[in-house]
Structure 1
C-alpha cells in the first residue's frame, strides 16, 4: 500500500511540475512573441483555465505528500518526504501571495480594458513563476530521492 501511495504521489507531483515547467519555458515564451492582443488574450485564457485547475493540483500534491510522510513515519527517507512537503507548502504560499493576485487581474483583461502596464505585470508573474518552478522541481527531486 505504501509503495502505491509513493508512486501515485510522485506521478501527481511530477505531472504538476511538468505543466508548470511547460508554462514557464514553452507556453508563455510562445505567447510573448505573438502580437499584443493575441498574447494578452492567450495569457488571460490560460490564467482562467489553469487558475481553475492548479489549486486542486497543488493542494492535492501537498496532501498526498503529507499522507506519505505520516504513513512512512518510521521508514528511511521520511525526512526527505517532509522536506518535499515543506517545499510544496512554500510553493502554495508563493502562489497565494505573489502569483494568484496577478493572475486574478490578468485573467479578466481584454484588449479593451487591460492596463497600460499589463506587460510589466505579466513579466513580474513570469519571474515569480520561474522561482516557483525551481521550488517545485526541488520538491519533486527530494520526493523521488525519498523512494526506497
Structure 2
C-alpha cells in the first residue's frame, strides 16, 4: 500500500510540475507573442482556469507528501519526503502571499479596465512563478529520489 502511495504522490506532483513548467516556459512566451490585446486576454483566461484548479493540486500534493512521510516514517528516504513536503509548504505560501493576489487582479482584466501597469504586474507574477517552479522541481526531485 505504501508503494502505491509513493508512486501516486510522485505522479501527482510530477504532473503539477509539468503544468507549471509549461505555463512558465511555453504558455507565457506564446501569450506574450500574440498581437494586440490577445495575449492579455489569454493571460486573464488562463488565470481563471488554472486559478480554479491549482489550489487543490498544490494542497493535495502537500497532503499526499505528508501522508507518505507519516506512513513511511521508518522507511528509507523519509527525510527526503519531509524536505519535499517543506518545499511544497513554501510553494503554497508563495502562491497565497505572492502569486494569487496578482492572479486575482489579472483574471478580471479586459483591454478596457486593465491598469496602466498591467504588464509590470504580469512580469512580477512571472518572476515569482519562476521561483515557485524551481521550488516544486526541487520537491519533485526529492520525491523521486526517495522513491528509488
TM-score between the two structures when normalised by the length of structure 1: 0.99
| 1:93 aligned onto 2:77 | no
CA RMSD of aligned residues (A): 0.6
| 1:47 aligned onto 2:47 | yes
Structure 1 Cα separation of the partners of residues 36 and 72 of structure 2: 50
Structure 1 Cα separation of the partners of residues 56 and 12 of structure 2: 11
The residue that corresponds to 2:130 in the other structure is 130
Structure 2 Cα separation of the partners of residues 32 and 77 of structure 1: 41
Residues 124-145 of structure 1: CA deviation (Å, up to 9, x unaligned): 0000000000000000000111
The residue that corresponds to 1:115 in the other structure is 115
Moved over 3 A (4+): none
Residues 98-126 of structure 1: CA deviation (Å, up to 9, x unaligned): 00000000000000000010000000000
**Structure 2 SS opposite 1:146:** helix
Shift of 1:19: 0.1
Shift of 1:34: 1.1
Q: Which moved more, 1:35-44 or 1:117-126?
A: 35-44
- Unaligned segments of structure 1, at least 5 residues: none
Count of residue correspondences = 148
Structure 2 Cα separation of the partners of residues 93 and 45 of structure 1: 23
Structure 2 Cα separation of the partners of residues 29 and 147 of structure 1: 34
Q: Which moved more, 1:33-42 or 1:22-31?
A: 33-42
Shift of 1:57: 0.2
The residue that corresponds to 1:29 in the other structure is 29
